[in-house]
Structure 1
Amino acid sequence: MVKQSGRIITGAHYGLKDWLAQRVTAVLMAVYIVLLTIIVFISAPQNQAEWVAIFNYPGMRIASFLFLASLMWHAWVGIRNVLMDYIKPVAIRLTLQILVIVSLMAYLMWAAEILWS
């Protein structure tokens, strides 16, 4: 806690950045889901080859990767905030945060490998 101008300041002050990140990533994910739904209804893929054809288009791969990156960022902000609010011992909280970061990065790399393989 730090006292500044008569106020007690606590925490990491992520507030506005977290709020904005959550809204921006949510909008990006919603737009992707709407576009994917439209594409699926238009092309109506019936087998794996048709699904692969949809994701062979470079724009779809990039959009899918941006969706997944937004999902990971959105998840990170939410999980970090929960850990900061409810896990008080610093060593445990930092360990959990590191595990979450490593996991989310691994999932994103795995997704990139799948999209571009």
Structure 2
Amino acid sequence: MKRLVVGAHYGLMDWLAQRITGIIMAVYTLIVFAAMLGGAMSSREAWQAFMANGLIRFLSFLFILSLCYHAWVGVRDIWMDYVKPASVRVILHVLTLLALVGYAGWAIQIIWRL
């Protein structure tokens, strides 16, 4: 019997992950927007002071992880649904995962360097 290797079929967990990460990103965006209106981006020093807050750094870290996981679930599902050859799909999965890990590492490095 040949196994069919197409389709996401991850169901509720991926749906829930997409919603939770979306909410985290939306809340963070509102916080940054409120800080922008409050003058946190009026100068480089003000932005550095805002980002130096431990809670803001943690929320930024959480945002980055949420963004990468959100992107992973979405892109992985696209590859699984539309790329039929399993070998090509695996290569695309690996490249996507490497890119997202690289982006997350780079963003975290920028946040902690401020």
- Equivalenced residue count is 110
Q: Which residue matches 1:49? A: 45
Give the corresponding residue for 1:63.
59
In structure 1, list runs of 5 or more residues that go unmatched: 3-9
Which of the two has greater strand per residue? 1
1:105 is the counterpart of 2:110? no
> 2:24 is matched with which residue?
28
Alignment partners' CA distance in 1, 2:82 and 2:59: 34
1:19 matched residue in structure 2 = 15
Give the corresponding residue for 2:73. 77
Paired position in structure 1 for 2:35: 39
Q: Which runs of 5 or more residues in structure 2 are unaligned?
A: none
Query: Cα deviation per residue 1:26-65 (whole Å; 9 max; x = unaligned)?
Result: 0011111111111221235322121111111111111011
- Greater mean alpha carbon deviation, residues 87-96 or residues 47-56: 47-56
Counterparts of 1:14 and 1:41, CA distance in 2: 40
Q: Could you tell me the TM-score, scaled by structure 1's length?
A: 0.86
Higher alpha-carbon Rg: 1
Secondary structure of the corresponding residue to residue 38 of structure 2: helix
Runs of 4+ more than 4 Å apart: none
1:86 is matched with 82
Match of 2:112 in 1: 116
Q: Give the alignment's TM-score, normalised by structure 2.
A: 0.88
Distance 1:44 1:52 in 2: 9
